[in-house]
Structure 1
Amino acid sequence: MRILLIYHFFQPDPVISARLFAELAEELEHAGHRVTVFTGNRLIRSDEKLPPREEWNGVEIRRFSRPNFSQGSNVGRLFNSGILQLKWLCGFFRRRREFDAVLVGTDPQFAYLMFPLLRLMNRRIRLIHWAFDLYPEAILVNSPAWMKRLAALTKPFVPWAYRRVDAMVDIGECMRKRLQTYGHGAECATLTPWALAEPSEVPESDPDVRRELFGEAKIGLLYSGTVGYAHDLGPFIGLARECRRRGIDAAFCFAGYGNQYKVQLAQLTKEDTNIRLAGFASEAELERRLAAADIHLISLRRGWEGIVVPSKFFGALAIGRPVLFSGPEESCIARWIADEKLGCVLDDASEAALHFIRELGNKPEVLEQARNHAWRIYREKFSRTAVCSRWLRLLAER
């Protein structure tokens, strides 16, 4: 099958979604498909321009130029999105008979507006949408007023655009429910992102890294990754204070970055002696950092369920660590935790979470079982091999 992938960022960009699309392209190519990628010519955190054409591991990469408007600016993102989509549509028109299937991601914003035009240019093509996050919902939840008004203007066009899609791929059941409210009628599948680090066995903690992050605490809890508008560190800070008050020997480390990281940590005081901070870890250091913790912290604000699914969840399981989740009980992460016994959900009372931390800290055999179980569930349900096998079955159905 001749497959076209369309996504804003791609190899060699280190951003997680770009890496996932690159690894999916590799898997499709290894399975015998011919893969072409339409992407942008800039990295997400660099001014560097990438070459317009490249062949990478058998995959044809076609990069379309865009201005260097900041992705951190709402106006900049809009201009980048519009320019790229117009250029991709022109590129597709010239090669519209070369492909059997087109897979489109959710970056840049409003990418779904291309669906009707892609369908018009080739009515026989199989059109697949892989939704990592939802627009305009993400804008409507938390954006300046003028962006919300603009997003609201596009919302009536979403059902019309989605009805052109043959297969709608989400990354969680709560996201699927939001997508189905548009009445798209497409074939549905849940294909989650996988972790970038997938050790072949449950790794042990590096004593030096553990001491750097958690000191000599009996049990270490780690938040690693982005802190944005969809995340809230407040419940974890409150839990850390309650652990200190009750004499539970636990250390919390926030190794994050993002537009809300410093804002949310401004509430820390000198009394928060069991809370530590750490900077960004390179990919080479990431596995050792993740393995240094006993429990990983995952956060999702209420109202964001089904709009985004934190990829930290899959990274924690891949490294064989149970998770403590602060977020809506109806979210897919909370359900996976409950169904597969992967950790604990933090509620307002916090008693279950305190018991969870105390038990894993006082019973090494329980902690060891939790590690092995998390790693096994990841390999069976969420690993690159498991998910890409489902991708291949989805593509083979027609």
Structure 2
Amino acid sequence: MRILLYSISYSPEVAGSGRFNGELTKWLAEQGHHVDVITAHPYYPEWKVRSEYRHKGWFTEKADNLSVFRTPLYVPEHVTGKTRILHELSFAINSLVHWLRVLFRRYDVLIGVCPPLLAGWVPYIFSRLKKTPFVFHIQDLQVDAARNLGLIKNKQLLSFLDSIERYLLRNAECVSSISEGMKRNILSKGTPAANYFMLENWTDIDTMRPIPAQESLRTELGFSGTDKIVLYSGNIGEKQGLEILIEVAAQLSQYSDITILVVGEGVARKKLVEQAEQKMLKNIRFLAPIPYSELPRMLSIADIHLVIQKRATSDLVMPSKFVNILSVGGGAIVSADTNTSLRDIIVDNQLGWVVEPEQADKLANEILLALRSPQLHQYRLNARKYAEDHLSKQAILPRFEAMLSKLVNSYS
């Protein structure tokens, strides 16, 4: 097959959908398919274009069957609802240079990855012109999240974005997403059930494996064997609501052996660091993102992992960091509302603890209970087993390839 994927996020980004887009297209190319990618210069989660990509304009990276068309874009210094819209528009407009380049190429299928929403609209128009099937993959329900988080307050704009989203969801030949909760939302917006495909976020279970504490980064980061490490590793943005960790650290400050370790980058990081310094908290540390190759060793330092998100996004997104936590056999405390697919997965499979979002008192108490819980060891075993049974890249990607092949054959 000849496949074109369009997304603002791509490797070498490892946060958000960038890693999954990169691994998916590389894997498809390794299976013998010809894959083109139109994407941006990498900038996420730091919201700064990486130094090696600055001032490079439009260019192409090529490796065997995989061609990656890079597009310059506006990256705001301060991320707001307005600047984010300008950021996404700049990518959509600037990427037209590459769309003109591929205008006369034949593709068997086009894939658009949302967010942003425009990453669905542009390939959809192209697919109609070329009479080619269109797959709309949803990593986040961006419009609902923007509304619920108050990132966009203009009702006319939200209504307009809603109409675009619903049109794409109803007219794409296939719509895929990563969780049951997102599936329910998508079907409620008009996607025919027969056109839906579940594409769970995956992990490489051979790379992301349990590592003994003595082989982790614990000693290198200055922690002893008796220190209790509560780890948050991932994007530090609006959806997570990580300001709660400042309150939690304050409540746990009397426990000298407990450290909250925050590893990552994002638009909210600077503010969190300033809040911790203002409160003179000694039991919360911030580290920059580490190389992806070191991630198993980093995740393995944790006694307890935290997966934090705001109530407003409980069933609109599925934290991508969670799959790697499960794969390394981590015991996790997850903030999730009742009747959400994330909570159901954790409770039904006994993978960890669930707390009500945005409740610092409850989270602090749950950390204390989890650190001394006799269930912790079993939860870790269950987590690894769940990853092996449900989240393996070797199992998920062939299913997606088979779906694409069936779609292409039925369309021709």
**TM class, shorter-length:** 0.7 to 0.9
How many angstroms does 1:355 deviate by? 2.7
Q: Is residue 168 of structure 2 the alignment partner of residue 158 of structure 1?
A: no
How many angstroms does 1:286 deviate by? 2.6
Alignment of 1:159-174 (within 5 A): 159-174=166-181
Q: Is residue 124 of structure 2 the alignment partner of residue 105 of structure 1?
A: no
Distance in 1 (alpha carbons) for counterparts of 2:321 and 2:67? 30
Deviations 1:250-292 (A, max 9, x none): 3322223222224345554767554333333233433221111
State which drifts further: 9-18 or 304-313. Answer: 9-18
| RMSD over equivalenced CA pairs, Å | 3.1
Q: Quickly say closer, same or farther: Cα 1:14–1:49, change in 2 above 3 A.
A: farther
Deviations 1:327-371 (A, max 9, x none): 323333222111221110123545655432221xxx5xx544433
**Contact 2:32-2:65 within 8 A present in 1 as well:** no
Q: Is residue 369 of structure 2 the alignment partner of residue 355 of structure 1?
A: yes
Aligned to 1:223: 232
State which drifts further: 199-208 or 326-335. Answer: 199-208
Number of residue pairs aligned between Structure 1 and Structure 2: 387
Distance in 1 (alpha carbons) for counterparts of 2:301 and 2:197? 34
Distance in 1 (alpha carbons) for counterparts of 2:226 and 2:97? 54
Matching residue's letter, 1:316: I
> 3-state DSSP class of the match of 1:226?
coil
- Unaligned ranges ≥5, structure 1: none
Distance in 1 (alpha carbons) for counterparts of 2:405 and 2:258? 49
Aligned to 1:346: 355
Distance in 1 (alpha carbons) for counterparts of 2:151 and 2:138? 23
Aligned to 2:329: 320
Q: Is residue 180 of structure 2 the alignment partner of residue 181 of structure 1?
A: no
- Unaligned ranges ≥5, structure 2: 44-48, 408-412
**Contact 2:343-2:354 within 8 A present in 1 as well:** yes
Q: Quickly say closer, same or farther: Cα 1:62–1:136, change in 2 above 3 A.
A: same
Alignment of 1:59-98 (within 5 A): 59-63=66-70, 65-70=71-76, 72=79, 73-74=83-84, 76-84=86-94, 86-87=96-97, 89-95=99-105, 98=106
> 3-state DSSP class of the match of 1:257?
coil
Distance in 2 (alpha carbons) for counterparts of 1:87 and 1:306? 36
How many angstroms does 1:74 deviate by? 2.5
Match 1:294 to one of 292, 303, 314:
303
Alignment of 1:280-291 (within 5 A): 280-291=289-300
Aligned to 1:209: 217
Match 1:53 to one of 57, 60, 84:
60
Match 2:140 to one of 133, 137, 151:
133
**Contact 1:223-1:255 within 8 A present in 2 as well:** yes
Aligned to 2:381: 372
Higher relative contact order (CA 8 A, sep 6+): 2
Q: Is residue 288 of structure 2 the alignment partner of residue 279 of structure 1?
A: yes
Aligned to 1:309: 318
Aligned to 2:261: 253
Distance in 2 (alpha carbons) for counterparts of 1:135 and 1:216? 42
Q: Is residue 47 of structure 2 the alignment partner of residue 33 of structure 1?
A: no
Identity %: 23
Aligned to 2:128: 120
Matching residue's letter, 1:43: P
How many angstroms does 1:114 deviate by? 2.7
With the length of structure 2 as denominator, give the TM-score of the two structures: 0.81
> 3-state DSSP class of the match of 2:110?
strand
How many angstroms does 1:120 deviate by? 2.3
How many angstroms does 1:165 deviate by? 0.6
Q: Is residue 396 of structure 2 the alignment partner of residue 387 of structure 1?
A: yes
Distance in 2 (alpha carbons) for counterparts of 1:310 and 1:253? 18
How many angstroms does 1:68 deviate by? 4.5
Aligned to 1:194: 202
Distance in 1 (alpha carbons) for counterparts of 2:89 and 2:209? 45
How many angstroms does 1:235 deviate by? 4.5
Distance in 1 (alpha carbons) for counterparts of 2:171 and 2:95? 17
Aligned to 2:5: 5
Q: Quickly say closer, same or farther: Cα 1:377–1:213, change in 2 above 3 A.
A: farther
